[in-house]
Amino acid sequence: MEQRINALREAMKQQIEQINSKENLAAFWQDFLGKKGSIADLMKGLGTVAKEDRPAMGKVINDFKVQVEEQYRVMSERMEQMELQARNRMEAVDITLPAKKHPQGHLHPLTLVRNEMINVFAGMGFDVFEGPEIEDDDHNFTRLNVPKDHPSRDMQDTFYLENDWLLRTQTSGGQIRVMDAQKPPIKVLVPGRVFRSDSDATHSPMFHQMEGLVVDKGITLCDLQGMLDKFVQQLFDASVRTRLRPSYFPFTEPSVEVDVSCFECAGKGCSLCKHTGWIEVLGGGVVHPKVLENCGIDSSVYSGIAFGIGIERIAMLKYGINNIGLLFENDVRFLKQF
């Protein structure tokens, strides 16, 4: 019996040295300490030992059992340690590695320009009002002094919907909505999308305008030019000047086309200004008395100025974009440049 125990002790020492996983460790436990393991076997064999030797032999078996259990405990702890170390190695973070970059989006160039324009006018005390994109004939045309069958309707290729509804061709209808809701003094911007059946390198069937309206006592064309001077100087360059050319819009009298001196060549002549030294940027004028009257504002007491700016046009000039389509294709290679 004693020989068997010594042989098992040797086998145990060898097996313990080879343990390198939890599976090995579990097998070791089964082999020695399990129900059918070697120590249970030894216990069973105790019956064949002479009665007087049994207590001593029992103690030897028990000491061996304690020794095996101790080895098992030490090995379990070592396995736990190894596992922990392996996991820590796997989860280790190298803080010297360059961080993963999450590309950040930004506002669309049209939104940037729109915000910039609003900022400049807000500095002069303008509020912002937004009207509906589906508009009625009355607000888009008739009350702006464009009666049905008036030839000036042909200035804009309108998308008509059912009955008297249409997709607004201009933000000017916002003037009517503002004057219906509010009495002078009025100083308001109406930015928004407009629609016309028109498409080429500089025209898109959907584009953006910003309307401006000022109504108060004693407002004149000089106020328009003064405001627009400040506007273009802040938007383009402090050195640019404006020039008013006579024009025609049904809702203003007189009407003007507003040019800025070319900020690219300082008026000397270049491809941007088509060698004229001037760039057309917007239309405007003194609000036609009929338009004021159409909104219940006494034109013998009040007068107004109005203007309409194409936001795409300003963005294209500012950023040197030669095709309006680029602003709507949303190609990130283009958008990233802003």
CB 281 within 8 A of CB 308: no
Q: Does 64 bind ligand DAH (CB under 6 A)?
A: no
149-158 contacts: CB < 8 A, separation 24 or more? 150/250, 152/248, 152/249, 152/250, 156/196, 157/196, 157/197, 157/198, 158/196, 158/197
Nearest residue (CB) to ligand DAH, 184 versus 285: 285
**Residue 217 main-chain phi, psi, to 5 deg:** -75, 135
Q: How far is the CB of 103 from ligand DAH (least distance, A)?
A: 37
Nearer to ligand DAH, 31 or 253 (CB): 253
What is the identity of the amino acid at 125?
A: G
Q: Which amino acid is at 232?
A: V
Q: Give the shortest CB-206-to-ligand DAH separation in angstroms.
A: 14
When binding is defined by CB under 6 A, the residue of 211, 240, 294, 295 that contacts ligand DAH is: 211
Site for ligand DAH in 248-277 (CB under 6 A): 249, 251-252
170 binds ligand DAH (CB under 6 A): yes
Query: To 5 degrees, how large is the angle CA 32–CA 34–CA 38?
Result: 40
| Min CB(106)–ligand DAH separation in Å | 29
Candidate list 72, 129, 278, 307; residue touching ligand DAH; CB under 6 A:
307
Using CB under 6 A as the binding rule, whether residue 285 contacts ligand DAH is answered as yes
126 versus 307: smaller Cβ distance to ligand DAH: 307
Q: Closest-CB residue for ligand DAH?
A: 308
Residues 6+ apart with CB under 8 A from 4: 42, 45
Which member of 38, 158, 172, 225 binds ligand DAH (CB under 6 A)? 172
Least distance (Å) from ligand DAH to the CB of residue 237? 24
Q: What's the rounded Cα separation, in Å, for the pair 187 and 127?
A: 6
Q: What is the edge-to-edge ordering of all strands in the sheet holding 303-310?
A: 127-128, 186-195, 206-216, 303-310, 278-287, 252-261, 242-249
Residue 145 is a binding residue for ligand DAH (CB under 6 A) = no
Give yes or no for residue 297 binding ligand DAH (CB under 6 A).
Answer: no
d(CA 270, CA 255): 28
CB nearer to ligand DAH: pick between 68 and 306: 306
Q: Does 306 bind ligand DAH (CB under 6 A)?
A: yes
Among candidates 262, 254, 267, which has minimal Cα distance to 307? 254
| Segment interacting with ligand DAH (CB under 6 A) among 69-77, 92-100, 304-312, 330-338 | 304-312
CB 222 → ligand DAH: shortest distance, Å?
A: 15
Dist CA 211 CA 215 (whole Å): 13
Query: Residue 109 or residue 308: which is nearer to ligand DAH going by CB?
Result: 308
Mapped onto helix, strand or coil, the DSSP state of residue 205 is: coil
- The answer to whether 219 and 307 are in contact (CB under 8 A) is no
Catalog residues that contact ligand DAH under the rule CB under 6 A: 170, 172, 211, 249, 251-252, 283-285, 306-308
